[in-house]
Each structure stands twice: as C-alpha cells, then as structure tokens.
Amino acid sequence: MMQRKPEQWPMSPIEALDLEIADKVGRLSNGTATAEDVSEATRLIRERTDRMMPSVFRRLRAERKAKRSPALGASA
Amino acid sequence: MLDFIVADRVPLFGMDVDRFNFAIYIYEEATQVLNCVACRRPHRMEEDADHRSWEPGEGHVGMAYQGKREYIAEDTSKPDARQIFDAPEPKRRPDDLERYRSIASIPIRLGKGDPVGVLVATRDVASRFYLPSERGDPARDPVEPLRVLAREVALIIELTDLYRRVGVDES
C-alpha cells in the first residue's frame, strides 16, 4: 500500500470554503481586494451561511409561507 | 466553554454512552509543544490524568497545528487512516485504537492566521465524525459545532492577548 502523506488526507468542503473566505477577507482587510473579490466574498459568505444555519432558514421559509397563507397566518 | 458542547453532546453529536474526549491544546512557545489545557471526559479521574504533549507535526493534534487544517477520521482502524492517525512511538499507547476510533482535530485560529492551538474531539465508536459529502445535508455535519467552538476560543485568546499587549484592565 502506498504511504499516504498527512497533507493528502481529504479536506472537508466546508473547511475549503472557509479558507477561500479567509483569503478574500484578507485581501479586503489589507486593501488589495478588487471589485470582483468583494462580490465573490459576498457570494461565498452567503454560501457558508446557508451551510451553517440550514435549519434556521428552513424555519424562516416555513414561517414566511405560513404568513402568506391567511388561515395559517392567523393561527401562528 | 467545553462544557457547552459536552452538555449538549447528545443532540449535537448523537453521543450517548460513547467514551468521549473533548480537549483544547495550546502551543507553548517556551517548550515548543502543544499542551492540553482543558479536557472533558466521561470520568473526572481520566480528566485529571497526565495528558500527552505533541510537537508540531506529531500525531493528529500536531498535524492540525502544523498543517493549519482540520484532520477528521471516520474510522481510525482503516489502514489509510492508521498511516496518518496512529501516534508515533514512543507516545503510542496500546488502547489508542480502541479509545480514539473517530477523531476530529480543528486548528484554533482566526481566518488564515497561525493557529494558537488545536481543539480535539474523539469517540470510541467509528463514523461519529466524518467529512460530509457535497450533496449531504449540511445540518448533519458533526464537525460544525466544533468549528464554531474553535473560532470562539481563538477569538477569546486573541482578545485577551490584545488586552495584555495594550495594557487594558480586563475586569
């Protein structure tokens, strides 16, 4: 069997996303960010938030849906 | 802070009767090793016992510190995982494989800065910590609560260090 190096161990997609965000935010803080970096950082942070709090967003979506429905909205 | 995740270990990690270990290792410049500064285990006697120190790059704790990245093992008994997660001699213990079957080592750091230490969680049951697939439900990522805690610890350490450097009274 091939000897595996520690750096070859698989990385979590969430950790990879965090590193990408840290890279963009680092450029923002040291003043080297381009307009593209800014919009990309926003997109990545939104993606990270979606991963971090999916149950919260699911609940908010359900509540918004309930509000749109008068019968359910009244009982909420 | 470890008590928060230990108290909620059942809903967060599905831990019930597992033999678990949550620990914080901090790098000490003077000795150039990572020392355990806090840990939570099922028995107080195990918490008070001597803990191993790790040099950067040594064991999964040292690897997470040196590599500035997470090391997550679903099952340390698998041959490819053993290559990475077996502790080096002479620090290896006979019951390591039995006790540390599933492992998550998370660097304690903010952004892309140098880590100040490593947060470690282990269990004696395989598949408790694992890498979620891209298509999997992110709400079920068992490592996410540990990432949140590692960032909080990093933030507190950075802030207290900042207070010390500028000479502000923390009280």
- How high is the ipTM of this complex? 0.76
pLDDT band at A76 (very low <50, low <70, confident <90, very high): very low
Residue corresponding to tokens 């950067």: B56
pLDDT band at B74 (very low <50, low <70, confident <90, very high): very high
What's the pLDDT at B138? 63
**Rounded Cα–Cα distance for residues B42 and B47 (Å):** 8
Ranking A33-37, A69-73, B22-26, B51-55 by mean pLDDT, the lowest is A69-73
Residue B57, Ramachandran bin (φ over 0: left; ψ between -120 and 50: alpha; else beta): left
CB A21 within 8 A of CB A48: yes
Partner-chain contact B132 A12, CB within 8 Å = yes
Q: How many residues are recorded in chain A?
A: 76
A 10 A CB-CB count for A32 gives: 9
Which one of A25, A52, A54 has the shortest CB-CB distance to B111? A25
Q: Name which of A4, A9, A32 to mutate to probe chain B: the one with the most chain B Cβ atoms within 10 A of its Cβ.
A: A9
Which one of A7, A15, A22 has the shortest CB-CB distance to B70? A15
Set of chain B residues whose Cβ sits within 8 Å of the Cβ of A41? none
Shortest alpha-carbon distance between residue A71 and chain B (Å): 30
Pairing of strands B33-40, B71-73: unpaired
Set of chain B residues whose Cβ sits within 8 Å of the Cβ of A4? 80, 83-84
Which one of B80, B132, B141 has the shortest CB-CB distance to A4? B80
User: Which residues 45-84 of chain B have a CB within 8 Å of chain A?
Assistant: 57, 63, 67, 69-72, 79-80, 83-84
CA Rg value for chain A: 20
Ranking A23-27, A69-73, B26-30, B146-150 by mean pLDDT, the lowest is A69-73
Write down the pTM of the prediction: 0.81
Q: Hey, is the C-beta of A51 within 8 angstroms of any chain B C-beta?
A: yes
Which one of B83, B112, B144 has the shortest CB-CB distance to A4? B83
Give SS3 for B107.
Answer: strand
pLDDT tens for residues A9-53? 999 888 999 999 999 999 988 899 999 999 999 999 988 887 776
Set of chain B residues whose Cβ sits within 8 Å of the Cβ of A25? 111
DSSP 8-state code for residue B126: T
Partner-chain contact A12 B63, CB within 8 Å = no
Q: How many residues are recorded in chain B?
A: 171
pLDDT band at B23 (very low <50, low <70, confident <90, very high): very high
